[in-house]
Amino acid sequence: MGAPDLKLWLHSWSCFEEISVKITDAEVFVTCPGRNFVTLKISTDEGVYGLGDATLNGRELAVASYLSDHLIPCLIGRDPFQTEDVWQYLYRGAYWRRGPVTMTAIAAVDMALWDIKGKALKTPVYNLLGGQSRTGVMVYGHANGRDIEETAEEVAKYQELGYLAIRAQSGIPGLPSTYGVAKDKLYYEPAEKGLPPENAWSTEKYLLHVPKLFEALRLKFGDDLHLLHDVHHRLTPIEAARLGKSLEPYHLFWLEDAVTAELQEGFRIIRQHTTTPLAVGEVFNSIWDAHILIQEQLIDYLRMTVVHGGGLTHLKKIAALAEIYHVRTGCHGATDLSPVAMAAALHFDISVNNFGIQEYMRHTKETDEVFPHSYSFKGGYLHPGDAPGLGVDYDEKLADKFPYERAYLPVNRKLDGTMFNW
Ligand code: EZ4
Ligand code: CO
């Protein structure tokens, strides 16, 4: 290295030194602007703060306590730039590893630290993750109807809004309630105030109905539109194989959560029988929920997302492993993921090569006002925007007007009363 280069190098080193930052405080906020959200705010001695989403639908206060009572005391005085070391400290340091509550809390800290890092360096988080691998993030919306006709009307509405990919769910004849069919269309929210509501289920009725839904949609909308469907963990592997086979003529973008995936090996049976692409993983919380699915190429899309999948630090490693095995990403993005998690997902989506698609359920006006954000929708794509950090803020004063309200996801029983998966 010549003398002028050395000078330049020393200069850049001293600039880096100047932005050394320390965590001084962290606070947890719980608010209900239409639904409950838990938000972590980490403050630093430089005045820069970072936000993390810590929302776990129906178990919100457990994560809030995990953060306030157990994690925040360990964060004070740490350097927020050390995202890898802090992640390892919280994951390994707990001794009790994994689980949705622990991993959501770790994810919230991780998100907030990446937000701080981006703000301190005055650049969007995607630039710290590899930059922009694409011009926008293709999203899918939710068309829900009480019957096939109503679902088709909803699909048409999303198409008019510019969506290129749409998830379609329909009520099942003979069942009083079905997953995905809501009262309030654009703001579908499965959690309900009070104690858990009960739904009823029949696999037989469901398997007869779904192929009819997609036959009707392909007839009406043609071949170009991407169509998706969520089984929501309600079949056995051989039943999922039958459904996948019967849907092949309608070439779905994906069939989601066909079975519960605690038994990763179960997907071998589905895979042997159908070419319908498979997606799974919105409830996964670490690589150990998905390593067999990925390495045996049993799925096509992994639905893990930043808030429930251990944060950006963990998810980018999982995406790198998935890339080798032809598995693409398909981050969960329902209304119970706050705009902070949505933004973090978009920075991740735009940066990885093996991005597949991003779920996008619109939040209520109140939620968007509590969380002003730089991401925006255009022509079927979301873009994270070019604000430094994650590009989301939190209006504490407005949030105070919406106190926590107890709410649960539904539970599900078979027609004879047997407890089943929701
Ligand atoms: O039921 O986010 O694909 N999306 C989904 C969601 C989930 C909720 C659970 O909190 O399955 O609607
Ligand atoms: Co789902």
- Cβ(282) – ligand 1 distance below 6 Å: yes
Residues of each domain in the chain carrying CATH 3.30.390.10: 3-125
pTM, two decimal places: 0.94
User: How far apart are the C-alpha atoms of 282 and 27, rounded to whole Å?
Assistant: 27
Known catalytic residue at 95:
no
Ligand 1: nearest atom to the Cα of 257 = 11
362/345 Cα distance (integer angstroms): 15
Structure tokens at 203: 């696999």
CA of 332 to the centre of ligand 1 (A): 8
Q: Atom 12 of ligand 1 has which residue's CA nearest to it?
A: 334
Nearest to 173 by CA among 149, 139, 141: 149
| Ligand 1 in reach of 101 Cβ (< 6 A) | no
Architecture per CATH, domain 3-125, reads as 2-Layer Sandwich (3.30)
Sheet with 419-420, strands from edge to edge, namely 198-201, 411-414, 419-420
* Contact present, 268 and 240 (Cβ < 8 Å): no
When the candidates are 3.40.50.720, 3.20.20.120, 3.40.50.150, 3.30.465.10, the CATH number that belongs to 128-386 is 3.20.20.120
Cβ–ligand 1 distance for 190 under 6 Å, the answer yes
| Residue 189 Cβ contacting ligand 1 at under 6 Å | no
> Containing H/E element for 10?
helix 3-18
Instruction: Say how far apart CA 168 and CA 191 lie, in whole Å.
Output: 19
Cβ atoms of residues 112 and 42 within 8 Å: yes
- List the beta strands (DSSP E) in 23-113: 23-31, 37-44, 49-53
Which one is catalytic: 142, 232, 233, 308? 232
For the chain, residues classed under CATH 3.20.20.120 are 128-386
SS3 letters across 92-147: HCCCCCCCHHHHHHHHHHHHHHHHHHHHHCCCEHHHHCCCCCCCCEEEEEEEEECC
| pLDDT tens for the 422 residues of the chain, in order | 344 455 554 455 455 555 689 999 999 999 999 999 999 999 999 999 999 999 999 999 999 999 999 999 999 999 999 999 999 999 999 999 999 999 999 999 999 999 999 999 999 999 999 999 999 999 999 999 999 999 999 999 999 999 999 999 999 999 988 887 766 666 678 899 999 999 999 999 999 999 999 999 999 999 999 999 999 999 999 999 999 999 999 999 999 999 999 999 999 999 999 999 999 999 999 999 999 999 999 999 999 999 999 999 999 999 999 999 999 999 999 999 999 999 999 999 999 999 999 999 999 999 999 999 999 999 999 999 999 999 999 999 999 999 999 999 999 999 999 999 99
* Burial label, 394 (beta-carbon count in 10 A; 0-12, 13-18, 19+): buried
The number of helices, as runs of H, and strands, as runs of E, in the chain is: 14, 18
- Is 209 considered catalytic here? no
